[in-house]
């Protein structure tokens, strides 16, 4: 299963990767992570590898440069929903973030988060992906 973390603070990405790897190993055969420190880098990656599909993306909202919200908009505008990014989760310190991108945004986790927040969300989305 292909996971992505996008955050300009490496410790948040480190924690997400560790928690997902520890928390979903019984559900999937393999956990692969791509890590990005900016939304622009992730978009470039998608453009450079047209066959890549991210199953679950954990994305910070407020980063230097393009925000996670702007990234979600660009993904929605340039790719068919679910074709390159199957599930998209905001990880943010904004407590009152509400955004609806035609169902593309599938979750929100508040910072600071704990292991249970990440693992529960990842497991729920994996079940949804396996059922589809």
In this prediction, residues 15-27 reach a mean pLDDT of 97
H helix or E strand, kind and range, residue 112: none
Model pTM score: 0.92
**Confidence tier at 108 by pLDDT (50, 70, 90):** confident
- Structural domains counted in the chain: 1
Contact 35, 60 (CB under 8 A): no
Which pLDDT belongs to residue 95? 61
Domain that holds residue 54: 2-131
Per-residue pLDDT tens for 80-104? 767 899 999 999 886 665 555 455 5
**Residue 109 is part of a domain; what is its CATH number?**
3.40.50.2300
Structure tokens at 129: 């992906």
């Amino acid at each position: 299963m292909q996971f992505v973390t996008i955050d300009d603070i490496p410790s948040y990405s480190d924690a997400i990767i560790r928690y997902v790897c520890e928390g979903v190993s019984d559900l999937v055969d393999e956990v692969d992570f791509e890590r990005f420190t900016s939304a622009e880098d992730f978009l470039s990656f998608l453009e450079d590898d047209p066959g890549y599909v991210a199953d679950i993306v954990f994305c910070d909202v407020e980063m230097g440069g393009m925000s996670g919200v702007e990234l979600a908009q660009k993904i929605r505008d340039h790719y068919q929903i679910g074709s390159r990014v199957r599930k998209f989760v905001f990880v943010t310190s904004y407590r009152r973030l509400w955004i609806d991108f035609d169902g593309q945004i599938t979750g929100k986790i508040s910072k600071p988060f704990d292991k249970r927040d990440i693992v529960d969300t990842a497991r729920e989305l994996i079940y949804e992906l396996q059922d589809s």
